[in-house]
Amino acid sequence: MLEELSQLQQDGLRELQAMAGSAELPVWYRTYLGRKGRLTDVLRGLGKLSADERPEAGKRGNEVKQVLEEAFLRRQDEIREAELQASMHSGAVDVTLPGRPVAPGHLHLSIRTLRKIRAIFAEMGFQVYDSPEIDTDENNFELLNIPPYHPARDMWDTFWVNDQVVLRTHTSPGQIRCMREYHPQPIRVILPGKCYRYEQITPRSEHQFFQVEGLAVGHHIRLTDLIGTMSEFARKMYGAERRMRIRSSYFPFTEPSIEVDMDCILCRGAGCRVCKHTGWLEVAGAGMVHPVVLRNGGYDAEEWSGFAFGMGVERPAMLQHGIEDIRYFYNNDLRFLQQF
Ligand code: PHE
């Protein structure tokens, strides 16, 4: 075996020296040092040697490996340097060629929509309150008046981190965090952010999406304030001619609860494919903050009142730009992203 190893080392070094171009480098490496290369092949014989021959052969094997590795690296540098020099001399590198432009990125459509929404509410005096994407069951459900095992939980298919912790299914848990931080002062905030639901991904539903929550708490805040805020928002976002429609609805954390619609931005209420021939598009779920929720936030529900709303971000962007599949928002396809 010792002879075989010496022969192998000799062959390897000779072939390295004789090598003509860098294209041969990987071939050489595979042949000599690769997993199925000659060295591995020879060393496979180690097991058949007697116990007193084995240590020396093993040691020699390692030496050969090291010698060849080092020679390879040296030769690789040499060859590459030579090729570089050659190409410089032959003028293959035209240093006057303009550089390749770096493609400047831009903000994702979701973020741009979010910023527009933020700007509109900022004009109305709403601050941004940041709240975590991972939250407790308590904040996401219980303190929002949704006890364990309450059937209303079915409205939010949930990713559980453990028994007590969830990926927030909506931005509403931020209401609790915000009230507990600010009570007993008045509040006027929006809470934008990512939410998660344990849902099948289809062209119309993703398991991750953005929402913007709104919360106002103060004295004498009334349903008409909510409706006024919503219609002001819709007009700034979608055009001054927008008309609103209010339907009654149900959320455990608001009472009364409403659904805010606006006339379809495409057909202006006449009925089309976008509004599924109803003439109306959903803007937000909303309502007056439930007394239980106010109390959980630290406010005296006899003295304080408030409204809250929650709206989607991707869906309206889809309507506006005629995007037919929500999955495009999250699969990082530049052909899609560059259009906006
Ligand atoms: N959190 C509700 C949802 O995701 C929306 C909502 C927010 C409704 C605030 C009322 C008040 O469905």
Per the prediction, the chain carries an average pLDDT of 93
Lowest-pLDDT choice from 66-75, 116-125, 260-269, 305-314? 260-269
Q: Assess whether pLDDT exceeds 90 at residue 276.
A: no
Q: Assess whether pLDDT exceeds 90 at residue 205.
A: no
Question: Among the atoms of ligand 1, which is closest to the Cα of residue 175?
Answer: 9
What does the alpha-carbon distance between residue 73 and residue 71 come to, in Å, rounded to a whole number?
6
Report the pocket of ligand 1 as residue ranges, CB < 6 Å. Answer: 170, 172, 213, 251, 254, 285-287, 308-310
CA atoms within 13 A on the CB side of 249: 21
Question: In this structure, are 200 and 86 located in the same domain?
Answer: no
State pLDDT tens for residues 220-240. 999 999 999 999 999 999 999
Q: Does a structural domain hold residue 103?
A: no
Residue 172 Cα to ligand 1 middle (Å): 6
- The more confident residue out of 103 and 109 is 109
Q: Does a structural domain hold residue 167?
A: yes
Question: In this structure, are 321 and 211 located in the same domain?
Answer: yes
Residue 314 Cα to ligand 1 middle (Å): 16
Give the per-residue pLDDT at 306: 98
Question: In this structure, are 75 and 173 located in the same domain?
Answer: no
Residue 271 Cα to ligand 1 middle (Å): 26
Nearest CA to ligand 1 atom 2: 310
State pLDDT tens for residues 164-192. 999 999 999 999 999 999 999 999 999 99
CATH no. for residue 215?
3.30.930.10
Q: Does a structural domain hold residue 270?
A: yes
Annotate 23-51 with DSSP letters as a single string. Answer: GGHHHHHHHHHSTTSHHHHHHGGGGGS-T
Q: Does a structural domain hold residue 102?
A: no
Give the per-residue pLDDT at 320: 83
Task: Please say whether the beta carbons of 285 and 248 come within 8 A.
Answer: no
Q: Which of 194, 253, 260, 283 to mutate to test the pocket of ligand 1 (most atoms within 8 A of CB)?
A: 253
Q: What's the total number of domains in the chain?
A: 2
Question: In this structure, are 20 and 137 located in the same domain?
Answer: no
Q: Does a structural domain hold residue 104?
A: no
Pairing of strands 244-251, 254-263: antiparallel
Q: Does a structural domain hold residue 171?
A: yes
Residue 310 Cα to ligand 1 middle (Å): 4
Q: Assess whether pLDDT exceeds 90 at residue 12.
A: yes
Q: Residues 6 or more apart from 293 whose CB is under 8 A from it? A: 143, 144, 145, 175, 176, 253, 254
Give the per-residue pLDDT at 186: 98
Question: In this structure, are 51 and 81 located in the same domain?
Answer: yes
Question: In this structure, are 62 and 128 located in the same domain?
Answer: no
What does the alpha-carbon distance between residue 211 and residue 196 come to, in Å, rounded to a whole number?
10
Full residue range of the structural domain in which residue 290 is found: 109-337
Q: Does a structural domain hold residue 130?
A: yes
Residue 109 Cα to ligand 1 middle (Å): 23
Question: In this structure, are 188 and 44 located in the same domain?
Answer: no
Task: Please say whether the beta carbons of 49 and 1 come within 8 A.
Answer: yes
Give the per-residue pLDDT at 266: 82
